[in-house]
Amino acid sequence: MTDAAAEPKVKRLYRSDVRAARLRLGRRVRVTPVFHTEVAGPDGPVAVTFKLEYLQHGGTFKVRGSLNALLEARDDRRPVVIASGGNAGIAAALACAMQQRPCTVVVPESAPHTKVAAMWANGAEVQWFGTDYQEAFRRATDVAAERGALQLHAYDLPAVVAGAGVVGLEIEQQVRGRPPVLVAVGGGGLAAGIAAALGLRGRVVGVEPKGAPTLHSALAAGRPMDVAVSGIAADALGATRIGTIAFEIAQRYRITSTLVADDAIAMAREYLWREFRIVVEPAGAAALAALQTGAYVPEPGERPVIVLCGANTDLGTL
């Protein structure tokens, strides 16, 4: 048997799946606004559109996916378990609170206190286990089996990716033309969902820290592969491997990968606060960093969309 034959079949997601997620979510999530402006680039001002997704409930796009998964499995009322380095746990806790369901989040020891506090605030039980996401995930799988619970995945579950993709449908309605969409990549759920929403008519550029190149490494190798993870955005973009769903969509819809350094992410984050009084976590500033450093150069007349995807951060780090 070949390796390809041994690999599990990946469910393909399409625009129709994302549209179904939008109908399912309805008014339970916010339609986040866009903001047309200019930012400082390496050779002068650059016209951009910010998608202000950090204003989403829970300060993260991930609530869209978690809630969509629970609504899709509405007849399954089991308690929920998820492994998370931060935002996925906040999203699952919030989604469960909306549905009045118990939620347990297993986090690695490195999980930021700010994010753990948000999980507690939304009623979740939090367990610390292991030093990285993969160890926490294995523990969450054991907990789900022990308790007969429904296990959500932070980024590699069809309903989670489809829910995140609703961001793409909103951008399509809010922005004229078909500009490229720059979005941070960790496990790849948001970039994949947006690409599925826009289809071949759109263009999605994944932006990754050099210390966590999950998509970049997978595209180079032709398959998902484990990478060592480090850096300032590791708690949010700390997946050690691109999701199988995200990788399939990246190949089908030609998502590209751009790498940025930690100092560029930190500078972009500080710039957003200084110039716009926008507070995002490092992962939320990664896409802007690609534009400001010249890692991504817009075509003449092009106004790229920059997704500011998360705001769960310690204000003292600005």
- CA dist., res. 16 & res. 50, Å (int): 25
Residue ending a domain, among 158, 181, 196, is 158
Q: Tell me: the pLDDT tens digits for 191-247?
A: 999 999 999 999 999 999 999 899 999 999 999 998 888 777 665 556 788 999 999
SS3 80: strand
Residues 47 and 193 in one domain: yes
- Alpha carbon distances (Å) from 259 to 99, 217, 249, 271, 317: 38, 11, 19, 19, 23
Q: Tell me: the pLDDT tens digits for 12-40?
A: 999 999 999 999 999 999 999 999 999 99
Domain range enclosing 82:
62-158
Q: What is the pLDDT of residue 3?
A: 43
Nearest residue to 183 (alpha-carbon basis) of 163, 208, 161, 159: 208
What is the model's pTM? 0.93
Residues 108 and 126 in one domain: yes
Which CATH number does the domain housing residue 141 bear?
3.40.50.1100
Residue ending a domain, among 158, 185, 207, is 158
Please give the span between the terminal C-alpha atoms of the chain, in angstroms, as a whole number. Answer: 53
Mean pLDDT for the chain overall: 92
Residues 123 and 182 in one domain: no
Three-class SS of 251-268: HHCCCEEEEECHHHHHHH
Q: What is the pLDDT of residue 318?
A: 65
The DSSP code for 184 is E
Residues 139 and 267 in one domain: no
238 in Cβ contact with 245 (< 8 Å): no
- Asked, for residue 50, whether it belongs to a domain, the answer is yes
Q: What is the pLDDT of residue 6?
A: 45
Grade residue 4 by pLDDT with cuts at 50, 70 and 90.
very low
163 in Cβ contact with 68 (< 8 Å): yes
